[in-house]
Amino acid sequence: MNKGNIIILLSMILAFGITSCITESSKEGTAMPKAGKKSNNSSLLSMYHKDPVNQAQMDENAIIDYAIDKDLKPLRLPSGVYYLVEEEGTGVPLVHGQPFKAHYAGYFLDGQKFDSSYDRGTPIASTVGRMIPGWNEALKMFKTGTKVKLLIPSRMAYGASGFPGFVPPNTPLMFDMHILPITGK
């Protein structure tokens, strides 16, 4: 084999290797959710982690699997909290330190309810900033009267400690929330 043929052969091997690398790396960016379902929500699929290496990535995948399974198209905040406005409110968004009232039902992503103000018949009354981080962030985004579904990663909920007796450690949560007007004193 002469020098020219060797160069051509090496060029072909190099080109094939580069093409293979490009093809493999593009496959990694299109990992499918564990649920195996197809979704028309490319923004959800783009956030999916093929091989999660930490709790945040595992939570994100669990939330994406849940959203795809329920055919939801939530929006994502930089913190990793996902939300879906079901009914827009008319008031002004709350601010840190402001009192609020809300009815809510909290669920694990398997659908099991772990808490509900609806079941107690009394909305929660507290202050923005004194709730789990995912709620504090969400409350400042929505107007009074808003009904919203929140999908909250564990670090924005009860984290590695969980809430003993109610929420296990490292558990992403879903809340149906209705922000209520505060009336009376």
Q: Cite the active site residues.
A: 104, 114-115, 132, 158, 175
**What distance in Å separates the CA atoms of residue 106 and residue 149, rounded to the nearest whole number?**
10
Q: Which residue is listed with tokens 């190099």?
A: 14
Residue 145 tokens, joined: 């009267």
Burial (CB < 10 A; 0-12, 13-18, 19+), residue 156, is buried
Residue 142 tokens, joined: 């929505």
**H/E element holding 132?**
none
Degrees to nearest 5, angle at CA 57 with 55 and 63? 100
